[in-house]
Amino acid sequence: MRIVKAFGFIAILVLVSACNETKYPNEIQTVDRLIAQIDSAQKIHAGIDTTGIKEGNRIFSQKFNFVKANYTQTADTLHRKEALLISNYRDLKKPYDRFNDQYSVNAKELEFSKGQLLDLRHDLEHNLLDTNFVKRMVESEIEATETVVAETKRLENGRKTMIEKNNELEPRIDSLINYIKTNP
């Protein structure tokens, strides 16, 4: 008899909770849209070739250090063309050095933002939030999502720019290195 009463009580609770609709359907739609944006940014992030960047940084460092060592050992002055080439090539150092840290930070920010959005969605679905705070919380998550998505796009665009600049300068640096090696 107690088991029947328990099942009856559980059935009533399920019916009551099923009838309990959210007060925030528009906000839930907004949060779902933000989650989709984070998912898209995570796909962009996952598609970034960090191994290629690490290898590119290693090769860059070898070449740059060779050229730098050669010109710091001699009393000769550089021709303007060579100086500009080396200066332009050196400009790749910071982006290469910073890339992996930025990539790691961006991954953590994406994961954190998605967790925040999933928690907010759950709270909105179950009417767990004070109505006075809902608008402010949703606006805050919109801003945070826009920021982290923009940072992911900047990271990918920076990677592309860095690779393009390296591909443009590398043949000229290789030529300079060959010249240095053949004309000591």
Query: Does the pLDDT of residue 15 top 60, yes or no?
Result: no
Task: Band the pLDDT of 133: cuts 50, 70, 90.
Answer: very high
Q: Quote the pLDDT of residue 76.
A: 67
Task: Band the pLDDT of 4: cuts 50, 70, 90.
Answer: low
Segment 112-136 mean pLDDT: 95
Query: Does the pLDDT of residue 14 top 80, yes or no?
Result: no
Query: Does the pLDDT of residue 114 top 80, yes or no?
Result: yes
Q: Quote the pLDDT of residue 12.
A: 56
Task: Band the pLDDT of 80: cuts 50, 70, 90.
Answer: confident
75 versus 167: the higher-pLDDT residue is 167
Task: Band the pLDDT of 83: cuts 50, 70, 90.
Answer: confident
Question: Do 152 and 106 meet the contact criterion of CB atoms below 8 Å apart?
Answer: yes
Query: Does the pLDDT of residue 148 top 70, yes or no?
Result: yes
Segment 156-181 mean pLDDT: 94
Segment 108-129 mean pLDDT: 97
Both structure tokens of 122: 């759950």
Q: Quote the pLDDT of residue 32.
A: 98
What average pLDDT does the structure give for the chain? Answer: 89
Question: Do 45 and 152 meet the contact criterion of CB atoms below 8 Å apart?
Answer: yes
Q: Quote the pLDDT of residue 165.
A: 95
**For the chain, what are the domain ranges?**
23-182
Per mean pLDDT, which of 12-26, 63-77, 121-135 is the most reliable? Answer: 121-135
Q: Quote the pLDDT of residue 11.
A: 53
Q: Which residues contact 99 (CB under 8 A, 6 or more apart)?
A: 50, 53, 57, 155, 158, 159, 162
Spatial separation of the C-alpha atoms in residues 59 and 171, rounded to whole Å: 13
Cα distances (angstroms) measured from residue 102 to each of 54, 94, 178: 13, 12, 34
